[in-house]
Amino acid sequence: MKPLWNLPPRFISTTHSLGRFLRRDVVGLTPVQIRVALDSLSRLYPGPADVNFSYQEMNGMQVARLKLKNTTTKTGVFFIHGGGFAFGSARTHRAIASALTKESGCEVWIPEYPLAPEAPFPAALVSLEELWSDFCGHFESVFVLADSAGGNLAVAMIQRLEAVNRERIAGLMLLSPWLDLRSSSMSSRANANAWSPFDRLDMLEYATHYLAGANPDQPAASPVLGSLAGFPPTLIESSKMEYLYPDACLLRELLELESIDVFWREEENALHGWQLFPDILPEAKRSLQGLTHFIAEKVELGAKHQMLH
C-alpha cells in the first residue's frame, strides 16, 4: 500500500530543508511558540463521540483519561507523549489515543508532564514515576505506550522501577523512540533529514533544552546505556526513512540480547509521527492494528496465566 505522501524524494527533501530554514533562521520559533501553535491546532479535532475525553488533576499534573462511554475495562494504557521534551500534550495525541481506545476497549491515560526548557531533566521523569503507582492501582492489565521523546521517558521510567513493579507491565509499545541523547548517537551521526522536518541541529537543541547541563551519558537521559534485563514484551515501530530509525534498531538488538520478546514493525516511507493521524493515513491505520493486536494478545496471555495459577 502506498503512503498518502507518495511524492518525489527530491520534493520532500527540499520542502523539509526550506521548512527548517524558515522555522529556525527566518521566524525563529521557540519551543514554547511551537507548543502553543500545536496545541491550538489540535483543539480543532473534536474526537469520536463514543470516546469520553476528560482531564483530571493527579499528583500536580493534568492527566487526560480516555475511555469508551458506558463501559468499564480492566486494561489501562499509560501513554507518554512525544514532542522533543518541549511540546506535545494530550490534545496533540488525542486522535491516536481515541482510536486505540475504540479499537481495543482499553482506558488510556495521557499525563501532561512538565516540559522543557521551563522544567528540565529529570522533572518529567520524576512526575511520571509518581503517577505510575496511581495508574497501576486502577487496572489489572497495564501497558506503557510512548512515541519519540516519550519513548525515552518510558524506557528510563521502567528501568528505574523495582523488579516487582516492572513485572506488572503486560507490554511496552514504542513508536519511533528517541533513546540516545548523546551528540555522538547513531541517529545524530546518520542525520537522516531528507524525510524529517527536524535534523541534527534540532535534536541537539531539544536535548540541550531538556538536559540543561545534565550528563547525557547517564541511563536516565540515554536509556540505551542502561540495563534492559527483566523488561516486558516490547513492540517497537519505526520507519526506515526517519531520523530515529537507528535508535529503534539499537534497542531491538539490546532487548534481544536480554532474551526479551520483541515485536518489530517498520514502514518503508513513513514520516516521523505518522502514527498520530489514524483517521487520515493508511500507515497510521496499520500501526493502530499492530497496537491493538499486541494488547489483545498480551491480555489473553495474562488471563491464561492467571487461570493456571
What secondary structure does DSSP assign to the chain, as a single string? Answer: ---TT---HHHHHHHHHHHHHIIIIII---HHHHHHHHHHHHTT----TTEEEEEEEETTEEEEEEEETT---SEEEEEE--STTTS--TTTTHHHHHHHHHHH--EEEEE----TTTS-TTHHHHHHHHHHHHHHTT-SEEEEEEETHHHHHHHHHHHHS-HHHHTTEEEEEEES-----STTSHHHHH---TT-S--HHHHHHHHHHHHTT--TTSTTTSGGGS--TTPPPEEEEEETTSTTHHHHHHHHHHHHHTT--EEEEEESSPPTTGGG-TTT-HHHHHHHHHHHHHHHHHHHHHHHHHHH-
| Residue 14 reports pLDDT greater than 50 | no
4 in a domain, yes or no?
A: no
Calculate mean pLDDT across residues 1-8: 44
| Residue 35 reports pLDDT greater than 90 | no
Give the pLDDT of residue 309: 57
Give the pLDDT of residue 15: 44
Residues 245 and 53: their CA atoms lie apart, in Å, by: 32
Give the pLDDT of residue 241: 85
The amino acid at 146:
A
Q: Report residue 201's pLDDT band, with 50, 70 and 90 as the boundaries.
A: confident
CB 109 within 8 Å of CB 137: no
Q: Say how many C-beta atoms besides its own lie within 10 A of residue 14's C-beta.
A: 12
Q: Give Rg (Cα) of the chain.
A: 18
The count of domains in the chain is 1
Bigger pLDDT: 207 vs 1: 207
Give the pLDDT of residue 202: 78
Residues 220 and 122: their CA atoms lie apart, in Å, by: 8
Question: 103 phi and psi, to 5 degrees?
Answer: -75, -40
Give the pLDDT of residue 3: 41
Range of the domain at 286: 9-308
287 in a domain, yes or no?
A: yes
Identify the CA nearest to 301 among candidates 170, 148, 136, 113: 170
56 in a domain, yes or no?
A: yes
191 in a domain, yes or no?
A: yes
User: What burial letters (b/e) apply to 221-243, b meaning 16+ CB within 10 Å?
Assistant: bbbbbbebeebbbbbbbbbebbb
Bigger pLDDT: 195 vs 141: 141
3 in a domain, yes or no?
A: no
Bigger pLDDT: 192 vs 154: 154
Q: What is the pTM of this model?
A: 0.90
169-175 β-sheet, strand order: 51-58, 61-68, 107-111, 75-80, 141-147, 169-175, 234-239, 262-267
End-to-end CA distance of the chain: 44
Render pLDDT for 42-76 as a digit per residue (tens, 0 to 9).
Answer: 888 889 999 999 999 999 999 999 999 989 999 99
2 in a domain, yes or no?
A: no
Whether the CA torsion 289, 290, 295, 296 is positive or negative: it is positive
| Residue 303 reports pLDDT greater than 80 | no
Question: In sequence order, what are the beta bridge partners of 175?
Answer: 147, 237
15 in a domain, yes or no?
A: yes
Q: Say how many C-beta atoms besides its own lie within 10 A of residue 31's C-beta.
A: 20
**What's the CATH code of the domain at 184?**
3.40.50.1820
Give the pLDDT of residue 243: 87
Strands 75-80 and 141-147: parallel
Render pLDDT for 218-246 as a digit per residue (tens, 0 to 9).
Answer: 999 999 999 999 999 999 999 988 889 99
Q: How large is the greatest C-alpha to C-alpha distance in the chain, in angstroms?
A: 63
Render pLDDT for 101-125 as a digit per residue (tens, 0 to 9).
Answer: 999 999 999 999 999 999 999 999 9
1 in a domain, yes or no?
A: no
Average pLDDT of the residues of the chain? 88
